[in-house]
Amino acid sequence: MAIRNIVKVGDDILRKKSRPVEKFDKRLWQLLDDMRETMYLNNGVGLAAVQVGILRRVIVVDCSQDRSDYLELVNPEIIDTEGEQREAEGCLSLPGESGITLRPAVVRVKAQDRNGNWCVYKGEGLKARCFCHEIDHLDGVLFTDREIHEAVEITENKGNDK
């Protein structure tokens, strides 16, 4: 396994649409292994292949505290959503930035595993947000494109209080 460099915002590749994976071979397996290692080393909960400079529809995800829920999704597509959640998101490609996004509360994703077998995965809460975030990367969409700006009431103290 090898640690890969994470592409940062400003690199045009992050805005490109990734191509489907057609060959399920040792090159794909190496990419998946490298992405896992890179995600864990950088304390991420998800990583898309485009974030390591590869325009293929591949993501890895592990939202668990103990790193026990690792998933590899090849050619993922969202097939169903329920509810909504407004939460803060960050991204390994936008270090130091975060913002509130509106995402589904529950997501079902159809994807292939490293051997090409189709599976359906269900994500709730953070995992649902992570699935959406990483699949967005495959379409050239960043979380900042989905950021919501809700009105906040600001109260000023003009020194009239005594």
Query: What is the model's pLDDT at position 150?
Result: 57
The one catalytic residue among 22, 134, 150, 156: 134
Q: What residues does each domain of the chain span?
A: 12-145
Cβ–Cβ < 8 Å for 85, 135: no
Tokens of 134: 């990483």
Q: Provide the 8-state DSSP code for 147.
A: B
Active site residue 89: no
Task: Report the distance separating Cα 132 and Cα 126, nearest Å.
Answer: 10
Name the CATH superfamily for 12-145: Peptide deformylase (3.90.45.10)
Where is average pLDDT lowest: 90-94, 143-147, 154-158?
A: 154-158
Residue 56, beta-bridge partner list? 19
Mean per-residue pLDDT, 23-43: 98
* Residue pointed to by tokens 């995992």: 127
- In the predicted structure, residue 33 carries a pLDDT above the cut 80: yes
Query: What is the model's pLDDT at position 38?
Result: 98
In this predicted model, what pLDDT tens digit does every residue of 106-151 receive, in sequence order?
A: 999 999 999 999 999 999 999 999 999 999 999 999 999 999 975 4
